[in-house]
Structure 1
Amino acid sequence: MTDEAILFAEPGARWRAVSYGPILCAAILAFELGTEGTAHWFALTFCAALIAGFVALQVVAGKRHISVELTPTALRSGTESLSLNSIAEVFPERDEHSRREEPWESARALGELTGVPRRRTGIGLRLADGATVQAWAKDHRALREALTEAISRSENGADR
Structure 2
Amino acid sequence: MTASEDGTTILFAELGARWRAVAYGPLLCLLVLILELVTAAQVHWFALIFCAALIAGFVVLQVIAGQRHVSVELTPVALREGTETLPLASIDAVLPERDEDSRDDEDWESARSLGELSGVPRRRAGIGLRLVGGELVQAWAKDHRGLRAALTAALGETDKVTRTEETEDSENGADR
SS at match of 1:69: strand
Find the counterpart in structure 1 of residue 174 from structure 2. Answer: none
Matched, 1:33 2:37: yes
Using the alignment, how far apart are the partners of 2:156 and 2:132 within structure 1? 14
DSSP 3-state at the match of 1:111: coil
Partner of 1:56: 60
Distance 2:91 2:38 in 1: 61
Shift, 1:101, TM fit = 0.1
Query: Is residue 146 from structure 1 mapped to residue 150 from structure 2 by the alignment?
Result: yes
> Counterpart of 2:136?
132
Q: For structure 2, which runs of at least 5 residues remain unmatched after alignment? A: 165-176
| TM-aligned CA deviation for residue 98 of structure 1 | 1.4
After superposition, the CA RMSD in angstroms is: 0.9
Runs of 5+ unmatched residues, structure 1: none
User: Equivalent residue for 2:87?
Assistant: 83
Alignment-derived partner of residue 108 in structure 2? 104
Structure 2 length-normalised TM: 0.89
> Larger RCO: Structure 1 or Structure 2 (Cα < 8 Å, ≥ 6 residues apart)?
1
- Percentage identity across aligned positions? 66
Structure 1 length-normalised TM: 0.98
**Mapped partners of 2:21, 2:101: distance in 1:** 36
Superposed structure 1 runs of 4+ greater than 2 Å apart: none
Which structure has the larger Rg over C-alpha atoms? Answer: 2
Corresponding pairs, count:
160
